[in-house]
């Protein structure tokens, strides 16, 4: 899941979770959110792409 989050910084934790599940891993949405937040890979809610 970290590789997905690093490759696509604009994705949210739900998209990272979906792609992780698609890869065949069983993980909860809350776990993905916690790991992505701890590693600083989640953009803030007020972020706007240029």
Confidence of residue 47 (pLDDT cuts 50, 70, 90): low
How much is the average pLDDT of 20-29?
95
**What is the separation of C-alpha 23 from the centre of its chain, rounded to a whole number of angstroms?**
14
Task: Give kind and range of the element (H or E) at residue 42.
Answer: none
16, pLDDT greater than 90 = yes
Task: Judge whether residue 15 has pLDDT over 70.
Answer: yes
User: What pLDDT sits at residue 42?
Assistant: 84
Report the distance separating Cα 34 and Cα 38, nearest Å: 6
Res 17: pLDDT: 94
Tokens 């992780």, residue located = 20
In this structure, the number of other CB atoms found within 10 A of the CB of residue 29 comes to 14
Q: Residue 45 pLDDT > 80, yes or no?
A: no
């Amino acid at each position: 899941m970290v590789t997905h989050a690093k490759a696509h910084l604009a994705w949210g934790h739900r998209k990272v979770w979906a792609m992780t599940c698609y890869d065949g891993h069983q993980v909860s949405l809350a776990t993905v959110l916690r790991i992505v937040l701890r590693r600083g890979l989640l953009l803030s809610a007020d972020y706007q792409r240029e």
